[in-house]
Structures are given as structure tokens and as C-alpha cells.
Amino acid sequence: MKKLWCLLSLVFTTLIFAQSPEALKKDSEAFYQATTNINVPEIYKYTYPKLFETLTLDQLKTMYASMTSNENFVMKFEKSPTERVIGEIKTFVKSSYAKIRQENVILMTFKYPVEDPKTMIAEFKNTMQAKEVTFNKKSNTFRIVQNTIIIAIANEKTNYNWRFINFSNKKNVIKDLFGAEVSKALELE
């Protein structure tokens, strides 16, 4: 009986710590670093696993390789000077969720001269929902600043460790995965 009590106590303590604000802050920082450094194995590790049921790590590596360097441009991330804002942890049926607001800064350096940067700036603002886009003619680089929402999830699928989904343009994905109640509670409507 004593062993059972100790085991239950250990499991309960581990679950509480794994879902704590401190763990969320630590894991969200690790996810941010993986993203800005384009460390694909770490991105894969910290992404909510349900998103990768049909995508392998090798496929993700290939996707990132073609997205970050192709015949048209090279893309990399710049560390944002702004702080991430982590919302309140909300719990529903053995799952915890939080909304994180952060700024992502993308640098896209084109391999050919950009002839109409104004049109491309407007296009980036529209398609990437960027709050700011500038063009440096000398380096042939666009600097794209986005306000991004990340959804943090800790549940049975993640072994109660925090995992993340980039929310941008994925309103239906969040509803489909977690239900309208979670979407509404996180103010994603």
C-alpha cells in the first residue's frame, strides 16, 4: 500500500509540474529557439503529435529545406526583440491549453533582383498577415514581422508535456482537434 501511495504521489507531482507555468515557459522558449534556428528535429519534438500522424521527420526536413532555400530565395529567422506573452493555462477534460502571443521575424533574401518590392510588400502583408514588411535593396532582402499565436497543449497524447501548434490561419484545425469549447475559451473565434 505504501508503494502504491508513493507511486501515485510521484505520478501526480510529475503531471502537475509538467503542466506548470514554469514548464510552459521553458518549453515554449525551446520551441521558439528550435523555430528561429530551423532545428527541424526539435520543431518536430515540440509540435503537437497529432499534426504529424501522416508526416515523418524526414518529410518535414525536406519540406523545411525547400521552404528555407530554393531557386528563388533563402529564408531565415531573426530573433525578435519582443517578449512572448503567455496566457492563462486553461484545463478541459484532462487537457491543458494556453495561448501564446509572440513576434516572428522572417528574412527572405532573393537570388534575383527584386523589380517591384512595393507589390511584394503588399503581397507579404496580405498572405502572411504581416504587421510590418520592409525591403533592403542593397541586400535584396525582405524583413517580415508577424504577430503569431501559438497554442500550447499538454494532454495524454503529449505525455502531459507542453507541445505546440502555430495557430496562424488554422482556426478550423483547433476546433477539429480540441472542440469549439477550447477554441472559444482561448478566444480564437
The mean pLDDT of 63-78, rounded to a whole number, is: 94
- What pLDDT digit, counting tens, does each position of 131-156 carry? 999 999 999 999 999 989 999 999 99
The shares of helix, strand and coil residues in the chain, as percent rounded to the nearest 5, are: 45, 30, 25
d(CA 146, CA 69): 20
Collapsed DSSP state (helix, strand, coil) of residue 94: coil
d(CA 24, CA 140): 38
- pLDDT score at 183: 82
Stronger pLDDT, 179 or 112, i.e. the higher one: 112
Tell which residue, 82, 79, 85, has the closest CA to residue 37.
79
- pLDDT score at 28: 94
- pLDDT score at 152: 96
- pLDDT score at 69: 94
DSSP 34-62: HHHTT-HHHHHHHB-GGGGSS--HHHHHH
Cβ count near 130 (within 10 Å): 20
Q: Could you tell me the residue ranges of all domains in the chain?
A: 2-185
Full-model pTM: 0.82
CATH code that applies to domain 2-185: 3.10.450
Contact 84, 116 (CB under 8 A): no
Q: Could you say which DSSP state residue 188 is in?
A: -
Confidence of residue 90 (pLDDT cuts 50, 70, 90): very high
- What pLDDT digit, counting tens, does each position of 154-168 carry? 999 999 999 999 886
- pLDDT score at 179: 81
Collapsed DSSP state (helix, strand, coil) of residue 168: coil
- What pLDDT digit, counting tens, does each position of 105-114 carry? 999 999 999 9
Q: Mean pLDDT, the chain, as a whole number? A: 86
d(CA 179, CA 101): 21
- pLDDT score at 3: 47
